Amino acid sequence: MKQKSIRVTLLTIIVPLVIAIFASIGFFSARLNSMNADDKVLYYDKLYNINAMLIGADRDFYRAMLAADQYHLQYEILSASDLEERANIYKENKQSALEQVEAAAAIAMTDESLFTGTTLEDSENTFSDHYDTFESDFGFWDSMYDIDEDRGFWSNYCGQFEITRGVLGDMIAVTEVWANRQVETQKARVK
């Protein structure tokens, strides 16, 4: 009889502990799954895609400028087919750069803390402000030189390229600042 009461006592202690352990495992598993989903949205759906698009836009913007440079500086010595090839490379890369910036901005717009809530340390401009400036500067850059006619203000065109490229760099920098803040927020959630 005494053995039975010890068993019952042990079971009344052990069973609730086992139930509590399984409940804790279930709770923390659900929490980890939720954090995993949040991290995927943050790091892949937003950060990776925005950065990939902005870096791709930067690359294509340079390629467009290089093609325009080759077209303009070698206009007299290139064949008609080479000029056409350079013009096509210019147009394709110019369009690709603009589309990638627009796509990155569309993703950034889905997160207010990125689009309008983050600035660089030495600036009050947000991603939204830099995006608006980029669109304006890009249009101004594009209007300064007509590649089909090899006409325009070449030195201003080259200078405006650097200005526009700088704004694109600012968009990348704002995204990095935002990402670092998000990492700190995620760390605080875990604690």
Summary count for the chain: helices (H), strands (E): 6, 2
The single-letter code of the amino acid at 25 is I
Domain assignment present for 5: no
Q: Which of 132, 69, 56 is nearest to 95 (CA)?
A: 56
How far are the Cα atoms of 110, 125, 128 from residue 116, in angstroms, in the given order?
Answer: 10, 9, 6
Domain assignment present for 34: no
- The three-state secondary structure class of 21 is helix
Domain around 171? 44-190
Q: What is the pLDDT of residue 32?
A: 64
The single-letter code of the amino acid at 152 is G
Q: What is the pLDDT of residue 45?
A: 73
For the chain, where are the E strands, in sequence order?
145-146, 151-152
Domain assignment present for 127: yes
Q: How many folded domains does the chain comprise? A: 1
Domain assignment present for 172: yes
pLDDT tens per residue, range 2-35: 667 777 777 788 878 888 787 787 777 667 666 6
Q: What is the pLDDT of residue 112?
A: 95
Domain assignment present for 6: no
| CA 186/CA 150 separation, integer angstroms | 52
Domain assignment present for 74: yes
Instruction: Work out the number of other CB atoms within 10 angstroms of the CB of residue 115.
Output: 20
Mean pLDDT, each 10-residue run in order, the chain (191 residues): 70 80 76 65 77 97 96 92 96 98 96 94 95 98 94 95 97 93 77 64
The single-letter code of the amino acid at 113 is S
Q: What is the pLDDT of residue 1?
A: 54
CATH code for the domain in which residue 80 is found: 1.20.120
Q: What is the pLDDT of residue 191?
A: 64
Domain assignment present for 183: yes
- Taking the C-alpha atoms of 17, 23, 24 and 29 in order, what is their torsion angle to the nearest 10 degrees? 150
Domain assignment present for 176: yes
Sign of CA dihedral 13, 16, 22, 23: negative
